[in-house]
Chain A
């Protein structure tokens, strides 16, 4: 045994074996069998039909990840420049929504975005809708928000934004300040310090942020069901339907899950490759 302490990892290894490796093996077995137990590829043959859902899921998850990154990176960067007290309070505020149940939070978004919901009532009160009608010559009573792809993306961004901020923040906060000083000593202006030192060094945080947002976003089902009203079916919904919903077909569900997992793993692999390349390029 290489390290005496490694026996402390045993509980984790057992845990992984029971709850990660074994389920994946079961997914593979289910995916390649039919209801009467024989080997089949029929589950995969049907995958083409669901192409639309694959495309929609990946598209919405990518958009949500990009928005999270665009919001999350500046927030983390600004935050790291502030005083300790401010940082602590800001961290609590960012984490605060996560203390509430995820479903409850998404459910409240439903009542905010409804046709007769809080937001539309607010718009009506302050005259936004009347103004819109007079400018565009339309006759709408509300803005249609619920049940649109935008609502689903909003739900994803709202729920997963902390997972983007936290890793980026924790990388930036630990940056070696002597490097920044060295860059300045060598004549770099603020922009160049950021572009050529801070940004490359914070890339690992960005990459793990992207992973932590993209992976749950691409497989979510509750958000699309509640905010998309079942009209924006995502992979998660499709899989859920094969297990819990109207269509009981665990074999098809396993096949879809497997294809999804493979695509996600490939995406992550490509991204990490790309990330490594970046770092090396910078180091050269």
Chain B
């Protein structure tokens, strides 16, 4: 019996060792950086280039949404060094003390980032973040399936488009559309306003306006002409446009969200030096140009943003359509009616979560 017990214990220990991966001693042999970003959100040749240049191995992983990333971090399932969350999630992570302060002397390319994207509400003192991309949220619609030009968030709730609208599967963006349509701020903490926005969504859902609640499925559905209207991000619209030229994009007149996704290092990161090397590499003008060309999200790197039309002309032998460039990098007059998300107080977050679950039922 004793033997059995010893064997069981030995196995238990072996199992824990396999599971924890004996991370301790492998560090000295090989330099590694663990990156978690979104799907289709990097020109993957950059990873190879970085590995070749520095000899640091990049473990590149993806999460579905800011909320999913947050759960991964909270449950300890994600063992990352660098993450690329959006503004409001960064604010939340800073609030909860989960991010490490960066040593900007290791990131000289930070100087290339336009001042417009520094000192924003989520990181007012520029201690934790290096912006990765920015963009706007808007309505994508199929011009052959609607007989008017869409300019307002009303379209997302209009029974006229029954069964032809794709709502975004993400509480913050979905409620923002409803709040903006009602003329409220997307950062409101007023419970009655949020409930009113929820009712708008709920009524539209009950009227059968929504064909589906989507994230990445939006590509297949919009490209294939399976739905007329969707709300999604400008950069992804440009990707869809490559496959379906009937699609149009608008930042509604009531305003919208503009967002910044920025690179951060986690407080418990095992490879902080490597993480900063990676961030510096990605912040360079060359990397930003490559990324912009690949994912169609605007770069916060001033040089890259300015050089992109030339880069495009050189790469494809034709000029970049000015309208498309302005959808990617929204001009000042569009940005003027857009607002960044701020991190909501925990009461409001709980309300969001409860309403979102209720909406699904």
Contacts and interface: CB of A to CB of B under 8 A. Distances in A.
Given A115-B226, A246-B353, A247-B354, A229 B11 contact: no
B211 A146 contact: yes
B212 A146 contact: yes
A226 interface: yes
Interface stretch (A73-81, A230-238, A268-276): A230-238
Interface string B266-285: 00000000000000000000
Interface size for chain A: under 10, 10 to 19, 20 to 34, or 35 or more residues? Answer: 35 or more
Given A230-B169, A231-B213, A243-B71, A116 B8 contact: no
Contacts of A25: none
Contacts, number: 104
A226 B68 contact: no
Contacts of A174: none
Interface size for chain B: under 10, 10 to 19, 20 to 34, or 35 or more residues? Answer: 35 or more
Interface string A107-151: 000110011110000000000000000000000000010110000
A167 interface: no
Contact of B360 (A11, A18, A233, A250): A233
Contacts of A247: 67, 171, 352-354, 356-357
B224 A249 contact: no
Contacts of B356: 241, 246-247
A145 to B, nearest CB: 11
Given A229-B212, A248-B67, A248-B74, A116 B226 contact: yes
B7 A10 contact: yes
B106 interface: no
B212 A230 contact: yes
Contacts of B221: 114
Contacts of B163: 115, 144, 147
A78 to B, nearest CB: 38
B294 interface: no
A267 interface: no
A208 B224 CA distance: 41
Interface string B211-231: 111100100110011110000
B11 A11 contact: yes
B170 interface: yes
A159 B308 CA distance: 47
Interface string B1-26: 10010011001100100000000000
B70 A248 contact: yes
B314 interface: no
A110 B67 contact: no
A178 interface: no
A246 B67 contact: yes
Interface in A77-94: none
Contacts of B169: 230, 245-246
Contacts of A11: 11
Interface stretch (A45-53, A63-71, A186-194, A211-219): A45-53
Given A7-B4, A18-B12, A117 B357 contact: no
A231 B360 CA distance: 7
B11, B226, B354 pick with most chain A CB within 10 angstroms: B226
Nearest to A144: B163
Given A116-B226, A230-B212, A49 B361 contact: yes
A80 B49 CA distance: 58
B242 interface: no
Interface in B58-110: 64-65, 67-68, 70-71, 74-75
16 contacts: A1-B1, A7-B7, A13-B8, A14-B11, A18-B15, A52-B361, A111-B224, A114-B224, A117-B224, A230-B214, A230-B360, A238-B360, A244-B64, A244-B68, A246-B353, A247-B352
Given A115-B163, A231-B211, 11 more contacts: A111-B224, A115-B211, A146-B226, A229-B210, A229-B214, A241-B356, A243-B71, A247-B67, A248-B70, A248-B71, A249-B353
